[in-house]
Structure 1
């Protein structure tokens, strides 16, 4: 009979909540391109990939461009806000969020799911919830 428990020491789990909240605040809510680029350099691996429903975005600069365009498209008070704490294990974390104008109605909800390697985001999936009827 085989033993299904591992005897290999597990690496410390990353702080999923800190990393994914920082991604929302310092990347996707950041309107200053230089500060957004600095956050991407800190939070993401050198060659990250982001999966959106209709697009695959490769590299920090391309992710920064997507974030900047979203903020420009939806207006000066549009922002993403976390819903609850991020959860994760074994290098995969998830954070629910909602977005809309600051103080206004929520216009979109979703989750970010990230593969974290050595404390940084390697791959990010942006999952959008269907609109409520």
Structure 2
């Protein structure tokens, strides 16, 4: 078993910024190719997304759906060990109220994201 531990903080921040905040589809595809394994799976609360192109499409659709200033912002550093990393985040339109909060949980294999679980916090009451 390998004792190599990836830089979870760098990897998960890059995923948020270069994939889920990237509006240019070509740049997003390049980032996904660098950050994800060849056949990644993303688990959303109501969907399972398989493959790099499908993950890119979901990210692009989210950005399009919520408007030109919508963005995801990390709320601290990612933590991880033994192939599992977690990064908490919030999302909102620039200057607007926070729309959603959650966390990304990544299974990392050979230095790349193999599986990504998108966990959403319940809305504040």
2:39 aligned residue? 47
1:99 aligned residue? 91
1:117 aligned residue? 109
Matched, 1:26 2:18: yes
Gaps of 5+ in 1: 1-7
Matched, 1:88 2:80: yes
4+ residue runs of structure 1 moved beyond 4 angstroms?
none
1:5 aligned residue? none
* Structure with bigger gyration radius: 1
Structure 1 distance, partners of 2:78, 2:94, is 22
Q: Deviations over 1:18-67 (max 9, x none)?
A: 00000000000000000000000000000000000000000000000000
Which TM-score applies when normalising by structure 1?
Answer: 0.92
Cα shift at 1:103: 2.0
Q: Among 22, 29, 44, which residue is 1:37 paired with?
A: 29
SS in 1 for 2:75: strand
2:56 aligned residue? 64
Alignment RMSD: 0.9
Gaps of 5+ in 2: none
Which TM-score applies when normalising by structure 2?
Answer: 0.98
Cα shift at 1:12: 1.8
Structure 1 distance, partners of 2:95, 2:74, is 15
Cα shift at 1:102: 1.4
Q: Deviations over 1:68-102 (max 9, x none)?
A: 00000000000000011000110000000000101
